[in-house]
Amino acid sequence: MVTDGKVSDIAEARKMNFQAGTVLAIDRGYIDYGWLHQLTQQGVFFVTRMKADIKYKVVGPRKVPANGPIRSDEDIIIHSWKYGVELRLRRIVKWDEERKEELVFLTNHLHFAASTVAAVYKDRWQIEIFFKQLKQLLRVKTFVGTSANALKIQIWTALTAMLILKYLQWRGQFGWSLSNLVALLRYQLFAYRDLYQWLDNPFQPPPAVEEMAAQLVLAF
C-alpha cells in the first residue's frame, strides 16, 4: 500500500479483507481491539507481541512441555470498554535464549501449539530483515521522485535487483552472505569474466582479454 506518510498502518489494515483461516503475523502497532475483534469474527487468526500495559484476566492455564523454551500458555480475556467487545485470547510466554529475555505473544488461535505460535512470529522477522537489506544494500533510503509512480518504479527496481542477488547467492558455491556478495559484485561490474565462475571462486583474477583486431586506437 502506497499512502501519504501521515496515514497510520492500522488505518490501512482496517480496509483489507482476508480469507477465513488466514494467519496474520503483525507487530504491536496493529493492536487495536476493535480490529482484532473483527478479525476473530471473520475467522482470521493473528499472532503478535503483547504490550506490557495491556490489562487482562486469566481464564485458565494450558499445559506446556517440561524443560522447553515455553514458560507459560494461558487463556485470557481482554475487555475493551471503548469498542464494547470482549476478546478471548491466548497469552504465551517464551524464553529467548539468544536475547536472554522473555517474549510474550498474543493470539486468537486456540489450537496451534505454543511453539508454533512463537515460530509464526519469528518468521515475521524475515520481513524486517528484508527491509533492512533493501535500505542498506540497495540504498533505498531516499526516493528520487515524489509521485506515487516514481516511488513504485524505484521500489520495483530494488525488488527485482534483490531477486537477482538472492538467486546468485543461492547459485554460488562459495557460501556468500548477501552483504559480501553485493559489496564484491560492485567491483566486478567492469571486469570481463564469467559470472558463475566468479561466484564459485571470487578471489581468482579475471582472465586476460585479447585485443580485438578491429579495435580502434585512441589518438590524443
**pLDDT > 60? residue 122:** yes
The answer to the question of residue 2 being in a domain is no
209, burial (CB in 10 Å: exposed 0-12, middle 13-18, buried 19+): exposed
**Mean pLDDT for the chain overall:** 87
| pLDDT, tens digit, 9 for 90 and up, residues 107-117 | 999 999 999 99
- Structural domain harbouring 156: 140-200
> Which domain-ending residue is among 101, 134, 167?
134
**Whether residue 107 sits in one domain with residue 23:** yes
| pLDDT, tens digit, 9 for 90 and up, residues 174-194 | 988 888 898 888 888 888 888
The answer to the question of residue 116 being in a domain is yes
**Whether residue 185 sits in one domain with residue 97:** no
Q: Which H or E element spans position 181? A: helix 178-186
The closest of 126, 59, 52 to 90, measured between CA atoms, is 59
- Residue 205 banded pLDDT, cuts 50, 70, 90: confident
Span between the terminal Cα atoms of the chain, in Å = 55
pTM of the model: 0.71
Higher pLDDT, 150 or 23: 23
> Which domain-ending residue is among 134, 157, 185?
134
In whole angstroms, what is the distance from residue 44 CA to residue 51 CA?
21
Q: What percent of the chain has pLDDT over 70?
A: 95
Higher pLDDT, 5 or 185: 185
**pLDDT > 70? residue 209:** no
The answer to the question of residue 218 being in a domain is no
**Whether residue 55 sits in one domain with residue 154:** no
